[in-house]
Structure 1
């Protein structure tokens, strides 16, 4: 019988799951695959990679499931098909015609700069090699489905009929930048979720999510992002990607400081959540987080609203992770005061990220991603919010 990620609030862990509860509310860089053995320790399906074909109706959260979820006692964030155009500009702050022309006209410059930055970033990554996943993480669920290679720098997490797998960082952090390279499940991946996120646990938990919703061969992955603070979430934004995430590793990053949370893909910003505590919007500033990586079965909702189930004849489904980097992060040393990750307790690299915001060019890039690749934004869902959007949705998020 298939088993979902026991840290998910959609799943009730069996008594044999010896793990704590953590509710799941709770530049392109192209790097070689030579450090992952060609001969895998478990039988694996074909390595054929599907072509990415844009979905005419990307997944988005619908009001019906949002309301019905509360009756069922399950997640209110299950997506249902909603006819959002892939190229719909969902930014609630309209961009002027002049700015749009600048975005179009400067696209080639953007690509040139991105390539240059990618080369620099890739060279740095190859030089440092990243931190050891085996040293810095524990396999807390599905241990037999977690296989480490390259002196612990690379791990493959597998999902089969019996179980998925989950890693949890040994350290806890309060603020920082967390980078992780991921290569997603190739080919048939419907019903699966591959994830990378930070989470505090507890009823009033904080959490920042990268969740990759699998799909049938030939259809693109949906990147599902969400942010929880003080137990309040339901801040979903979804994207399709501008590359094949199964063909090679790509770097996914979470930057978290007292000013904002920024999500990046290969150094390209895709989402910003600003600190608006002054306007009554909770923002994570006090609770330390663990870093997590997992693969699990969510066939009830993950693919096309649950209409497409997991094809277990294609199992095991294997995702690879490598080059975890949390050197720009403050390791929590215990105690109740958040100042333990401030002042003299900050790492020497903190000056580069503790006060980091997006600059003008980054805002331009962010809006380019939103216009071309965002498929759902809770701040633009009038079916879900017919009367008033959440407070953070009506506060300008940037300079454009």
Structure 2
């Protein structure tokens, strides 16, 4: 399940979990979301409780929340395409719309089963763009195998199997850009074979189409955007803004370090060739 949460205090919490999901009462797709493209490649299932996106050589597909939010907690369960999905990109993300947009992405990058690269059967790339100042990305390898076989559970520190895999702190006071705009939640399945697998060298094998992904769990707990005043968005009256979500505990810190040491495939904070002067959020 993808659970995305953003708040305006100390850090952005992205959490990612995988494995068998416990399905609580859920809103239907039409209550909070709408199709944005690839209308003939999207199929509602189970009376609208689940939605299936498809992609072939003619088109992919996508959807978005009907409203924008200043803060909130957003969840989505996902079942990803199968193993031979090189070049296929499956996403769930937050985005503002405008000239200077903020964007927070989960991008699942497919691979070919026989490919010996470290991203087998797929990588999770987490990308952050603030105020259209370019994007910073990091990727996790080998942690998401079961997402192709059962629904998994994603939140925003970035967690997987209840283990934190990324934290992005609010350090605006020292010049670190931080998301400040209202955002929609969006999801898509699309052709990224110009870059997604081996830098675009491994292309989509269309003999494996249709590529399909299922999304489930369309509840949204969010502060709907109605005011430009961030004090309303970040009110402690909303549970997702409470102090308990401001930091990781000691055990979570240990788990995060283990992920960085053993599973991180790429981190912009260590890419001196691309960033001779590291971005200000890097330690």
TM-score bucket (shorter structure):
0.7 to 0.9
What residue is the counterpart of 2:11 in the other structure?
A: none
Matched position secondary structure for 1:131: coil
Residue of structure 2 aligned with 1:371, choices 237, 261, 266: 261
Shift of 1:165: 0.5
Q: Which has the larger radius of gyration?
A: 1
State how far apart, in whole Å, the 1-side matches of 2:26 and 2:160 are: 17
Are 1:155 and 1:320, in contact at CA under 8 Å, matched by a contact in 2?
A: yes
State how far apart, in whole Å, the 1-side matches of 2:66 and 2:213 are: 21
State how far apart, in whole Å, the 1-side matches of 2:160 and 2:29 are: 20
Tell whether 2:123 aligns with 1:236. Answer: no
TM-score by length of 1: 0.62
Which 5+ residue runs of structure 2 have no aligned equivalent? Answer: 1-15, 115-119
Off by >6 Å, runs of 4+ in structure 1? none
What residue is the counterpart of 1:203 in the other structure?
A: 99
Residue of structure 2 aligned with 1:308, choices 202, 206, 214: 202
Aligned length: 262
Equivalent positions of 1:147-162 (< 5 A) are 147-162=43-58
TM-score by length of 2: 0.86
What residue is the counterpart of 1:337 in the other structure?
A: 229
Equivalent positions of 1:164-203 (< 5 A) are 164-203=60-99
State how far apart, in whole Å, the 2-side matches of 1:382 and 1:358 are: 28
Shift of 1:28: 5.2
State how far apart, in whole Å, the 1-side matches of 2:230 and 2:160 are: 29
State how far apart, in whole Å, the 2-side matches of 1:373 and 1:355 are: 24
Query: As a proportion of its length, which structure holds more strand?
Result: 2
Report Cα offsets for 1:72-126 as digits up to 9, x if no partner: xxxxxxxxxxxxxxxxxxxxxxxxxxxxxxxxxxxxxxxxxxxxxxxxxx5xx43
Tell whether 2:223 aligns with 1:321. Answer: no
What residue is the counterpart of 1:393 in the other structure?
A: 282
Report Cα offsets for 1:2-26 as digits up to 9, x if no partner: xxxxxxxxxxxxxxxxxxxxxxxxx
Matched position secondary structure for 2:218: strand
What residue is the counterpart of 2:175 in the other structure?
A: 280
Residue of structure 2 aligned with 1:136, choices 32, 50, 60: 32
Residue of structure 1 aligned with 2:151, choices 224, 249, 257: 249
Shift of 1:336: 2.4
Are 1:226 and 1:237, in contact at CA under 8 Å, matched by a contact in 2?
A: yes
What residue is the counterpart of 1:30 in the other structure?
A: 19
State how far apart, in whole Å, the 2-side matches of 1:238 and 1:309 are: 20
State how far apart, in whole Å, the 2-side matches of 1:168 and 1:28 are: 22
Aligned-CA RMSD value: 2.0
State how far apart, in whole Å, the 1-side matches of 2:74 and 2:158 are: 10
State how far apart, in whole Å, the 2-side matches of 1:217 and 1:374 are: 20
* Structure 1 residues 143 and 277, CA gap change in structure 2 (3 angstroms): same
Which 5+ residue runs of structure 1 have no aligned equivalent? Answer: 1-26, 32-121, 255-261, 395-400
Report Cα offsets for 1:33-71 as digits up to 9, x if no partner: xxxxxxxxxxxxxxxxxxxxxxxxxxxxxxxxxxxxxxx
Are 1:134 and 1:153, in contact at CA under 8 Å, matched by a contact in 2?
A: no
Residue of structure 1 aligned with 2:128, choices 223, 227, 230: 227
Equivalent positions of 1:83-98 (< 5 A) are none
Shift of 1:288: 0.6
Shift of 1:342: 4.0
Report Cα offsets for 1:319-365 as digits up to 9, x if no partner: 111113422x3222x23222332448x54x34547853211111111
* Structure 1 residues 29 and 383, CA gap change in structure 2 (3 angstroms): closer
State how far apart, in whole Å, the 1-side matches of 2:218 and 2:202 are: 32
